[in-house]
Structure 1
Amino acid sequence: MPKKKAAPESSSSDSDSGPDDRTPVKKPKKDSDGNLQFELSNNRRVTVSSFKGKVYVNIREFYQKDGDWLPGKKGIALSPEQWNALLEKSDEINKAIKET
């Protein structure tokens, strides 16, 4: 049985931005202590900070009180080594997500 050829993709000379369905990437902000903070969702953020002279990647839930966003109890602080170990396993984790 012969294979069908895929239709060529149409392109326009004025469109090089990629698919329109991508979520726009928000630029990191600085928190009140000057640490870079990346928003994952409405109430979850990743912050790169230092504590007692050591650098950590904090993944934490935030809550709103009196109009201010404050860090909650739920979260994890990863050392740079743990963060890199997580990144190295990202392909395996993505595969497991697709298989679940």
Structure 2
Amino acid sequence: MEALTFNNGTVSVGDVFVSSWGYEQTNVNFYQVISVHGKKTVTVQEIRASVLLTCSMSGYKTPLLNDFCGEPLKRRVRDCYSVPAIEIESFEMAYKTQPEEKHEFTSYY
């Protein structure tokens, strides 16, 4: 399996990235690496999450590996944080995470 190497870690197929973004709420999205290209480019695809509610409008999410949704996205990996990162959109950065790690979210209905 090919891996991309950076000063702050490696990125390979199967790795998970998480983004946490929003205003007045915290949206959490997960992306799984489905292929690597060249020295700094990956293709990721959003994956669904398991949700554990702690109250009516907040809780924790963990990624569901290989449970894909959405379209694949080709993105360049950045080597400027404590872990590798990718820009999903201008308002959404995703950082490499461990698949078992919980990520807090809040929402308003």
After TM superposition, the score normalised by the length of structure 1 is 0.29
Q: Which has the higher helix share?
A: 1
Computing the radius of gyration over CA atoms, which structure comes out larger, 1 or 2?
1
Bigger fraction of residues in strand: 2
Higher relative contact order, structure no. (Cα contacts within 8 Å, ≥ 6 residues apart): 2
Query: What TM-score does the superposition give when structure 2 sets the normalisation length?
Result: 0.27
